[in-house]
C-alpha cells in the first residue's frame, strides 16, 4: 500500500493500535460491571432506595454512605434521564386525500 505522503520513497506504515493495548472497537457503557457508577448517599434509607432503582434498571454501582450527610447521584440521574424520541406525522402530499375527512384532495381542502 502506497501512502500519498512519502519522502524519498519511504512508505509510511499504519500504526497498530492493538499493540499498544488500545482497542478501537470497544463499547464500554457506564453502569456495567466493567464500569460501575460511583454514587454517594447520606443514610441507609436512601441507600435502599438507590439499590432498588439500580435493580430495576439492571445497573451496577459502587455506593458509599457519607458521614457528612451529602449525596452525589449525578451519574445515576444522567444515565436515567435519556431523551425521548419525538415522532412527527408526515404532512400529506398535494394529491393525497385530505386528513380532515372531507374526501377532497389535500391541495383543494386544507393545503
pLDDT tens per residue across span 51-102: 999 999 899 999 988 888 788 888 888 888 878 788 887 878 888 888 888 8
Buried b (16+ CB within 10 A) or exposed e, 22-31: eeeeeeeebb
Q: Which of 33, 92, 97 is nearest to 59 (CA)?
A: 33
Give strand pairing partners of 61.
37
Ordered alpha helix ranges (H), the chain: 44-57, 74-80
In a 10 Å sphere around its CB, with 0-12 CB exposed, 13-18 middle and 19+ buried, how is residue 38 labelled? middle
Give the pLDDT of residue 52: 93
SS3 state at 7 = strand
pTM: 0.51
pLDDT digits (tens, 9 = 90+) for 24-54: 677 888 888 888 988 999 888 989 999 999 9
Give the pLDDT of residue 23: 66
Residue 10 has φ and ψ, to the nearest 5°, of -80, 135
pLDDT digits (tens, 9 = 90+) for 10-21: 666 666 666 666
Amino acid at each position: 500500500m502506497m501512502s500519498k505522503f512519502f519522502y524519498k520513497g519511504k512508505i509510511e506504515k499504519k500504526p497498530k493500535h492493538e499493540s499498544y493495548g488500545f482497542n478501537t472497537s470497544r463499547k464500554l457503557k457506564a453502569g456495567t460491571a466493567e464500569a460501575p457508577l460511583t454514587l454517594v448517599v447520606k443514610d441507609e434509607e436512601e441507600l435502599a432506595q438507590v439499590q432498588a432503582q439500580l435493580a430495576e434498571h439492571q445497573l451496577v454501582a459502587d455506593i458509599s454512605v457519607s458521614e457528612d450527610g451529602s449525596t452525589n447521584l449525578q451519574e445515576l440521574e444522567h444515565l436515567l434521564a435519556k431523551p425521548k424520541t419525538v415522532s412527527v406525522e408526515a404532512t400529506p402530499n398535494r394529491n393525497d386525500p385530505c386528513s380532515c375527512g372531507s374526501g377532497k384532495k389535500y391541495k383543494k381542502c386544507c393545503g
